[in-house]
């Protein structure tokens, strides 16, 4: 049984009497432990897909099973509960609370799952050690660099030990080098057996994941566009080195 099962999921918006299908009959399985990316140009529906996968939104049609439980009919409060226990989010703009310091930000999800103060602190410290920020506990987000803020956000996503982590353009607001450090962090998480979903429009980032799901016009593209995913360059490079070897 897959961790996430989508069956014929559609998301339909009505704008001025016109029906817009942001997602159109998507069927998709994501297995536990997968490291996977969702790619597609802006407006393709990849954000909508992530919102539905991440329980931020409910589908208009179709069924979705997370961890064996059907959730397409869940109320907003039930979705909040699921997000709290089973899902971690990392956003492009970090989305840390500016008034709280690093530890308090990481503790935030545990406050809503009713974990006591002492255990909260211990688990937050452990998560911060994992992203190598154990020395910046009392700083406010505004006193940290972009990369550090994103690592705090990752610690926050990890702290409740979720089934799946969603990262929405996690490197979009970072320079190339810092972006690579963050990607390396996700790769490590994947190696530890966590399920990680990267949402991006950047093929080079998508290239780091073993599986790529491409969205176009609200549908999953049958065949991954190698050019878009940057695979053609990899293939070309491989062909080139093979040719060089033949000489």
Partner 1 sequence: MGLWNAIAVGFKEIWAHKFRSLLTMLGIILGVSSLIAMSALVEGMEKGSREALVAVGGLQKFRIESQPVPVEQRHLRDFATGVTLGDVYAIQNNAPEVLKISPEMRMEPSPTLSANGKNFRTWSTAGVWPVQLEMMEHNIEHGRCFNEVDDEQARSVCVIGTGIRDELWGNPEETGKEIIPLGQTLTINGSPFTVIGMFEHYESDQDRKTRLLRKAEEAERLASGLTNAPTGPKRMRGWGGNRRGGFAFWIKNNTVYVPLNTMWIKLLSGQTNTPSDKRLSEMEIKVRDVDKLELALSEIRNVMMVRHRGIEDFNVRTQEDWAEQINVFIKNARLSGGLIAGISLLVGGIGIMNIMLASISERIREIGIRKAVGAGALDIFVQIVVESTVIALIGGIAGVGTSYGLIQLIIAFTTTDNAPIVTVSSMAIAFGASAVIGVLAGLFPALKAARMNVIQSLRYD
Enumerate binding residues for partner 1 (CB under 8 A).
51, 56-57, 76-77, 80-81, 83-85, 89, 91, 95-97, 99, 108-109, 111-114, 156, 160
Please spell the DSSP secondary structure of 218-247, one letter per residue. Answer: TEE-SS--HHHHTHHHHHHHHHHHHHHHH-
Closest CB to partner 1 among 138 and 227?
138
- Quote the least distance from Cβ 23 to partner 1, whole Å: 14
**Angle of CA points 152, 156, 162, to nearest 5°:** 140
Closest CB to partner 1 among 166 and 186?
166
Determine the Cα–Cα distance for residues 128 and 134; give it in Å rounded to an integer.
Answer: 5
The torsion angles phi and psi of 220, rounded to 5 degrees, stand at -80, 125
- Quote the least distance from Cβ 223 to partner 1, whole Å: 30
Closest CB to partner 1 among 85 and 121?
85
- Quote the least distance from Cβ 111 to partner 1, whole Å: 5
Residues written for the chain: 247
Closest CB to partner 1 among 27 and 76?
76
Closest CB to partner 1 among 133 and 158?
158
- Quote the least distance from Cβ 177 to partner 1, whole Å: 27
At residue 24, the 3 state secondary structure works out as: strand
Closest CB to partner 1 among 2 and 80?
80
Categorise residue 97: left if φ over 0, alpha if ψ from -120 to 50, beta otherwise. beta
Determine the Cα–Cα distance for residues 52 and 92; give it in Å rounded to an integer.
Answer: 18
- Quote the least distance from Cβ 203 to partner 1, whole Å: 24
Q: What is the DSSP letter of 72?
A: T
Residues 124, 129, 135, 140, CA torsion sign: negative
- Quote the least distance from Cβ 112 to partner 1, whole Å: 4
Q: What is the DSSP letter of 154?
A: H
């Amino acid at each position: 049984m897959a961790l996430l099962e989508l069956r014929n999921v559609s998301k339909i918006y009505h704008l001025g009497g016109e029906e817009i299908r942001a997602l159109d009959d998507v069927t998709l399985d994501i297995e536990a432990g997968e490291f996977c990316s969702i790619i597609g140009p802006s407006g393709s529906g990849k954000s909508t897909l992530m919102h539905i996968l991440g329980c931020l939104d409910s589908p208009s049609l179709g069924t979705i099973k997370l961890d064996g439980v059907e959730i397409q009919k869940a109320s907003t409060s039930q979705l909040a509960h699921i997000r709290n226990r089973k899902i971690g989010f990392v956003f492009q703009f970090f989305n840390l609370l500016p008034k709280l310091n690093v530890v308090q930000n990481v503790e935030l999800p545990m406050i809503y799952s009713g974990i006591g103060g002492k255990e909260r602190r211990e688990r937050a410290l452990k998560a911060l050690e994992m992203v190598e920020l154990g020395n910046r506990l009392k700083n406010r987000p505004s006193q940290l660099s972009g990369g550090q803020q994103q690592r705090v956000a990752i610690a926050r996503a990890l702290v409740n030990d979720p089934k799946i982590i969603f990262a929405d353009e996690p490197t979009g607001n970072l320079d190339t080098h810092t972006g690579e450090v963050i990607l390396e962090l996700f790769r490590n998480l994947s190696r530890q057996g966590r399920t990680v979903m990267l949402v991006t429009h950047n093929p080079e980032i998508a290239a780091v994941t073993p599986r790529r799901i491409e969205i176009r016009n609200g549908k999953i593209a049958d065949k991954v566009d190698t050019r878009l995913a940057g695979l053609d360059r990899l293939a070309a490079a491989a062909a080139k080195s093979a040719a060089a070897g033949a000489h």
